Amino acid sequence: MRIEMLVFDGVDEMDVMGPFEVWSHAAARSGELEVVLVGLDGPVEVTGMHGLQFRAPAGLGTPNGLFVPGGGWLNQAESGAWVEAQRGVLPARLAELAPRLDWISSVCTGSMLLGEAGLVKGRPATTNRNAWEDFTAYGPELKQNRVVDDGTLVTAGGITAGIDLAFRIVERELSPELADRIARSMEYTRDRDLYVSAA
């Protein structure tokens, strides 16, 4: 299983690094997962909203799962999710790509980009609690849980909730035992405030 994590200037660093840590452990321990940071149009150097600079070594492809972080929405920053929504290119690509994926996911205001792409309408989903009002404009069935699993759409609340989203994906796609072993090795207590849609 290949997971691509889409990054862009102004992204919230924790939105990316928390899940990346979890999935990197899962990749090393299982041999069944590959995780890579990707830019929209190819390899890219990114500066996060707090100034951390890092590199995505590949461009967006057609992975099994795609993860979309947030950042810069609530204050309508000069870079980040808000600007990407206004440009429209990233949401258009998400809308085009989503039907070919096993699942698409987001944390924090990355959910707003999924909303712009038309991917949350009528579906259980969540985002950063400070963006709930904005999020409802996209027509989701807003849930106030930390992680919301609607099968092909998995969303999480603010910032650190991405860590619990990543554990949910490991648990669901690989095994609960592996997720628990990784949590122990990270000395992380999982928050299991999870909404799962009925099958």
Report helix, strand or coil for 171. Answer: helix
Its domain, for residue 40, covers 2-196
Considering its fold, how many domains does the chain have in total? Answer: 1
pLDDT tens profile 7-37: 999 999 999 999 999 999 999 999 999 999 9
Q: Are 54 and 39 in contact (CB under 8 A)?
A: no
What distances in angstroms separate CA 70 from CA 14, 105, 125, 193, one per listed residue? 10, 11, 15, 20
Among 112, 116, 98, 189, CA closest to 152: 98
Confidence tier at 198 by pLDDT (50, 70, 90): confident
Mean pLDDT of 179-197: 97
Amino acid at position 59, single letter:
G
CATH number of the domain to which 188 belongs: 3.40.50.880
Percent of the chain with pLDDT over 70: 99
Among 117, 159, 165, CA closest to 140: 117
Report helix, strand or coil for 84. Answer: helix
pLDDT at 31: 93
Q: Are 10 and 48 in contact (CB under 8 A)?
A: yes
* Centroid of chain to Cα 88: 18
Mean pLDDT of 144-163: 98
What's the mean pLDDT when you consider all of the chain?
Answer: 97
pLDDT tens profile 74-121: 999 999 999 999 999 999 999 999 999 999 999 999 999 999 999 999
pLDDT at 199: 61
Query: CA-based Rg of the chain, rounded to a whole angstrom?
Result: 15
- Residue 59: pLDDT above 70? yes
pLDDT at 76: 95
